[in-house]
Structure 1
Amino acid sequence: MTREQRLVLAIAVLGSFVSFLDGTLATVALPAIRDELGGGLSSQQWIVDAYLITLGALILIAGSLSDVYGRIVVLRVGLIGFGITSALIAAAPTVEFIVVMRALQGVAGALLVPSSLALIMSNFRDAAQARAIGSWTGWTSVAQLVGPVVGGGFIDLLSWRAAFLVNVVPIAICLVLLARLEQRDVRRPGATIDYPGAVLAVVGLGGTVFALIEQGNLGWASPAIWGPMLVGVLALAAFLRRQATTAQPILPLGLFRVRNFAWGNLATTFIYAALSLSGFVIVVYLQQGAGFGATVAGLAMIPTTILMIGLSSTFGRLSGRYGPRLFMTAGPLLAGAGFLLMLSVTDPMNYWTQMLPGVILFGLGLTVTVAPLTSAVLGAVAPERAGIASAVNNAISRVAGLVAVAMVGTIVGGMLDLAGFYRGLVVSALLMGVGAAFSFIGIRTPTAEPAER
């Protein structure tokens, strides 16, 4: 690996790290925010989903922005915007202010992941690319898992406000590394941005998610629920129609003619829905139900972090050698079995005997899955389409998480007690099983030659 490739990989990891870190960091802060600023389960869902709505909708347009303005420029703007909104959340006077800032933070976060992955895809080839994706996947997945630990420590020792300032350090380091990168930015002549498509995506996701979250408070018969749901569904239908007819779509539907890309994203939908649902349920229950402090709740998942750091690159390399299908099938099944093992939890909880075995099995399954999944999806398309392919895959994973969190109230019965914890884990295990089934049915090994260029 050359000096420039090492620098690119470090930038890609750090640039995406802050986006993934913040998602789980916010989850562990929810009980502390509720204690200080008020709000119930729906407020906690909104703090998570406001970020995911704008992130999931606008991550698609980030690919077009990178084509027009350049990947490095877009990445730099995203980092600065993320840092500013993090500081504003730390100073928030109300829950409503946090929700608005989280939505704006999602806009900045949408610029980070596709540009980061596109840098890797344009600077690495063949086996080196598989290893680089494995490293990127491992470290960004670690960000999702270490977020509760770091955030919990800040919450217990200082405050939840200080936890949101954790991002400042990796953002500053990444900006310095970007300044040292001696590489011309890449712009695509004639590229345009589909702003109407982006607006339709935001309205569609916002309307449906609002209805899913608030229906527990108002009921489906309320016009304040079915009205936004109807608007959201129509907006999403219009979005898909526009993507099928516009000259430069932000979601090129033709990519889904590539078998591994289509089936890989279908598996992504269920696997990442399970990850978001289980993450929300476990972290919040450990604090509000089991009485754990924020730090201890975050540390509960640390074995998964250790496994991801130690083994992600290995499974990325094995996937490059043997193909992703085996790993994408076995991994979600192991993770789902880990969730089912956690059903041995009782009140009072014994972490070492009731939680830890399931956490370890879940962590192993996740480690087996993530790098091969990323490689399968991005390796199915031509390198010049890596930016939009990564944007689509990340948008699907975030939207899946968005819908899963929006439905938490329905799944757990409106309260995260022990019974709700059980229901959340069972549904998460089922979602993992569906993801494994789609991987087994649809993924071809080795990765098929792209049919759409």
Structure 2
Amino acid sequence: MLRQAAVVVLGVIMSILDITVVSVALPTFQREFDASYATVAWTMTGYTLALATVIPLTGWAADRFGTKRLYMLALVLFVAGSVACSFATTIEMLVAFRVLQGLGGGMLMPLGMTILTRAAGPHRIGRLMAVLGVPMLLGPIGGPILGGWLIETQSWHWIFLINVPIGIVALVSAAVILPKDNPSPSESFDFIGMLLMSPGLALFLFGVSSIPEEASVTATKVLVPAGIGIALIVGFVFYSFRPAHPLVDLRLLKNRKYTIAMISMFLFAIAFFGAGLLIPSYFLEIRDKTTLAAGLLVAPQGLGAMVTMPIAGRLADRMPIGRIVPVGLVLIAIGMSLFTQLEADTSIPLICGALFVMGLGMGATMMPIMTAALQTLNAASTAKGSTLLNIIQQVAASIGTAVMSVVLTNQIQNSDAIAKLGELGKTPPPAQPPAPEVLAQMQQQIEQLKSQALTDSAAAFATTFTVAFVLLLLTFIPAFFLPRKKSETPTPEGEQAAAPVMVH
């Protein structure tokens, strides 16, 4: 099992690192391709939409072709997309190749976890989740640091080329170490479900992802695709109960424990991933830190999670999840409460301490919630149940990011000082230079405006963190209904537990 874990972790680390590495390269893309931020942001949006398209298909494809074959195909697609990205000469080419990357990267985590969970068995799920949680932590920690270092010392091309040697090692290791496939293509493919769910999910996420750019939920670019996407998804919901083997099996929601775990994960992902977007932005925009420094300052959160995740993993195999998750949520709430009081000069060591406490809570929350869902799935519902879980997580993370971006943008736009500075920047210089005393007075006024603008911006971050804090508190409601007694049989009818499909 350890050898298989090493193979899977290689692929997962590669795909997760790629997300955070590219996120810090957006300003570089703006300069290199002479494009607007809204245009280069498509390098992230395109990747996300590719994930959304491939997620519903992964469960069926794993059963049809086998997890090993599909995992190796995902590695090939991801590495090929990485090489193509490094040779892109226009922003349009880069976006297209990022979509190719997303088709492969979207399958790496779910397939890897399916392989390992089948090898581990139902009684070691908690510990398995703790092991696989490590690459999920290394992404947010190492991504900004690695991306900043590669861009500063080499060039932006290397944030993609770095995937090539890792991918080759992972591909060869997978071919040698992973067990032979035993696919069981007994289910027919749900074409109608695919035509409803895949484009519906992609269009909905496109609309949600456009909210920060448009700064409004009522913009045409938001409402039209999101509305069509929701209509397609609703159509799939009504249709999915007709076929014997739907693309995404909503009948699983009849399982009360599974549904509660899903609701808990949905609320948690909105709050935590939404807040996670704000933290490096605060260091970059308010504290004027470099990308590399911001990445290092965010690291305490990942270190805190590394402390509690192995402990929570072992406890999840021995005691009820409902007694672990609330403790983690309390720790996150304690750490996040400091961010609701952020100022422009808040102590950096104090912020890092709060991040460490949040990390402690994250390690005791996210993986146990996933374990709570895992323990309700049997072998027959592995792929479909995992697919549904991943869709919920991906949608929640996208909603959280969009909500926090809009709240922060609106708060900053409401600042009079920031508005006045913007007007001054557009004012043409006077024909005659002002007198020295007038110039000194103008400089003093500008400095006062800058100081007030910085204070207002910090307050905008604090207000946005307050929204995330309230959403986190709402997570306590479904978490209270998580299992609080240890079941003798962790999965229905004593069958093997299933692996989740997760995308960070």
8 Å CA contact 2:190, 2:247 repeated in 1: yes
1:411 aligns with 2:451: no
8 Å CA contact 1:49, 1:402 repeated in 2: no
Give the match for residue 236 of structure 1: 233
**Of residues 306, 309, 318 in structure 2, which corresponds to 1:309?**
306
8 Å CA contact 1:277, 1:424 repeated in 2: no
Measure how far apart 1:409 and its partner are.
3.7
**Of residues 53, 72, 79 in structure 2, which corresponds to 1:76?**
72
Correspondence 1:109-128 to 2 at 5 A: 109-128=105-124
Give the match for residue 139 of structure 2: 143
For the residue of structure 1 that corresponds to 2:318, the secondary structure is helix
Which whole-Å deviations, capped at 9, do the CAs of 1:359-413 have from their partners, x for residues lacking one? 1111111111122122111111113433333333222212211222233442212
Structure 1: distance between partners of 2:13 and 2:36: 29
1:266 aligns with 2:306: no
Give the match for residue 434 of structure 1: 474
8 Å CA contact 2:341, 2:462 repeated in 1: no
Correspondence 1:36-55 to 2 at 5 A: 36-37=32-33, 42-43=38-39, 46-55=42-51
Larger radius of gyration: 2
Structure 1: distance between partners of 2:165 and 2:333: 34
Structure 1: distance between partners of 2:41 and 2:470: 22
Measure how far apart 1:44 and its partner are.
6.1
Correspondence 1:93-112 to 2 at 5 A: 93-112=89-108
Q: 1:273 to 1:93 in 2, by over 3 A?
A: farther
Q: 1:400 to 1:223 in 2, by over 3 A?
A: closer
8 Å CA contact 1:142, 1:308 repeated in 2: no
8 Å CA contact 1:41, 1:409 repeated in 2: no
8 Å CA contact 1:117, 1:390 repeated in 2: no
Measure how far apart 1:132 and its partner are.
2.0
Amino acid in the other structure paired with 1:405: T
Correspondence 1:176-255 to 2 at 5 A: 176-181=172-177, 183-214=179-210, 217=214, 223-255=220-252
Structure 1: distance between partners of 2:64 and 2:28: 42
For the residue of structure 2 that corresponds to 1:111, the secondary structure is helix
Give the match for residue 485 of structure 2: 445
Q: Which moved more, 1:182-191 or 1:341-350?
A: 341-350
Measure how far apart 1:105 and its partner are.
2.2
Structure 2: distance between partners of 1:415 and 1:36: 31
For the residue of structure 1 that corresponds to 2:262, the secondary structure is helix
For the residue of structure 2 that corresponds to 1:441, the secondary structure is coil
Task: Give RMSD over aligned pairs.
Answer: 2.7
Q: 1:129 to 1:451 in 2, by over 3 A?
A: closer
Q: Which moved more, 1:270-279 or 1:78-87?
A: 270-279
Correspondence 1:370-389 to 2 at 5 A: 370-389=366-385
Which whole-Å deviations, capped at 9, do the CAs of 1:423-443 have from their partners, x for residues lacking one? 332222223222232111244
Q: Which moved more, 1:381-390 or 1:259-268?
A: 381-390
Q: 1:29 to 1:260 in 2, by over 3 A?
A: farther
Correspondence 1:145-160 to 2 at 5 A: 145-160=141-156
Q: Which moved more, 1:278-287 or 1:228-237?
A: 278-287
Q: 1:302 to 1:224 in 2, by over 3 A?
A: closer
Measure how far apart 1:178 and its partner are.
0.9
Q: Which moved more, 1:250-259 or 1:45-54?
A: 45-54
8 Å CA contact 1:155, 1:294 repeated in 2: no
Give the match for residue 337 of structure 2: 340
Q: Which moved more, 1:78-87 or 1:420-429?
A: 420-429
Give the match for residue 34 of structure 1: 30
1:398 aligns with 2:438: no
Structure 1: distance between partners of 2:194 and 2:299: 37
8 Å CA contact 2:342, 2:459 repeated in 1: no
Q: Which moved more, 1:368-377 or 1:384-393?
A: 384-393
Give the match for residue 11 of structure 1: 7
**Of residues 402, 421, 434 in structure 1, which corresponds to 2:461?**
421
8 Å CA contact 2:53, 2:199 repeated in 1: no
8 Å CA contact 2:300, 2:359 repeated in 1: yes
1:163 aligns with 2:156: no
Structure 2: distance between partners of 1:436 and 1:33: 41
Which whole-Å deviations, capped at 9, do the CAs of 1:218-242 have from their partners, x for residues lacking one? 8666555433232122111112223
TM-score (norm 2): 0.81
Structure 2: distance between partners of 1:15 and 1:423: 38
Q: 1:98 to 1:400 in 2, by over 3 A?
A: farther
Identity of aligned residues (%): 23
8 Å CA contact 1:308, 1:367 repeated in 2: yes
- Consecutive unaligned residues of structure 2, counting only runs of 5 or more, are 413-456, 496-504
Q: Which moved more, 1:305-314 or 1:227-236?
A: 305-314
How many residue pairs align between the two structures? 448
